[in-house]
Amino acid sequence: MKICFPVESDKGLESEVFGHFGSAPLFVVFDTKAQSTDTISNQDLGHVHGMCNPLKALDGKMVDIIIVGGIGAGAINKLNKMGIKVYKALKGTVQDNIKLFESNTMPEMTLEQTCGGHTGGCGHL
């Protein structure tokens, strides 16, 4: 399974999870089978607000799970249609959030928890 974490800087498993999917400069992808990480530069960083293209952002690379502090409704809808589940990160590192995910204590995000214009109601870290 490949778990993707939006981050501001690449420090591998010690990277802090970023607060918003579409504006994260990078993504750290943890492969649970190989126990390895890979980094993807956000290829859709300059998108117009509300027009995030998650597949472009991830440079066409497929993942199984996204764990993030906040995400827009359009992005979560597109990810879910591709079979990718989105979970709510807690403040901390990629490693901290992997442990929470593996313990089945991390909530799956729904449209009610998405960002709506960044004026509140968003799940940003």
Domain hosting residue 43, numbered range = 2-113
Answer whether residue 107 is part of any domain.
Answer: yes
Residue 72's pLDDT is what? 85
At 32, which CATH number?
Answer: 3.30.420.130
105 in a domain, yes or no?
yes
Q: What pLDDT sits at residue 101? A: 95
User: Does residue 119 lie within any of the structural domains?
Assistant: no
Q: What is the pLDDT of residue 6?
A: 95
User: Cα–chain-centroid distance for residue 52?
Assistant: 13
In angstroms, the CA 42 to CA 123 distance is 20
Q: Is residue 122 part of a domain?
A: no
Q: Are strands 85-88 and 65-68 parallel, antiparallel or unpaired?
A: parallel
Whether 99 is covered by a domain: the verdict is: yes
For strands 2-7 and 26-31, give the pairing.
antiparallel
The pLDDT score that the predictor gives to residue 2 is 97
Per-residue three-class SS string for 54-102: HHHHCCCCCCCEEEECCCEHHHHHHHHHCCCEEEECCCCEHHHHHHHHH
Query: Is residue 123 assigned to a domain?
Result: no
User: pLDDT truncated to tens, each residue of the chain (125 aa)?
Assistant: 999 999 999 999 999 999 888 889 999 999 999 999 999 999 887 665 655 667 788 888 999 999 998 888 888 998 999 999 999 998 899 999 999 999 998 999 887 666 654 444 444 55
Total of domains in the chain: 1
Q: Whole-model pTM?
A: 0.86
120 occurs within a structural domain: no
What distance in Å separates the CA atoms of residue 69 and residue 88, rounded to the nearest whole number? Answer: 6
